[in-house]
Structure 1
Amino acid sequence: MTTWFRTYCEDDDLWLYFEADDAGWAARQVEVRGQDSRPVTAASLEEMLH
């Protein structure tokens, strides 16, 4: 089962979503901004290291 957690950055009107791997570390991050819920960033750790 995939575990997600999120936090809200009020100054930037930005939701940060994190997908946790089996060890509990963030493996993917998704940033969603504004009232229209426009995605800003979506990347996995593997994609960033590549």
Structure 2
Amino acid sequence: MANTKKLEHGERKTAKRKARKEAAPKAERTTPRGSNKKKLKSAGKGTSKR
């Protein structure tokens, strides 16, 4: 993406949107989203989850 620092707010938004449309599509995910998150074991009643 080109340097948009010198553009006004509205122009910057349109320039970025245009760049996103022209960019190649992203590849599909190989792993599901959130798969690296720490999994929670079921806790007892009245205890906080985290």
State the TM-score, normalizing by the size of structure 2: 0.18
State the TM-score, normalizing by the size of structure 1: 0.18
More helix by share: 2
**Structure ranking higher on relative contact order (CA contacts 8 Å, 6+ apart):** 1
More strand by share: 1
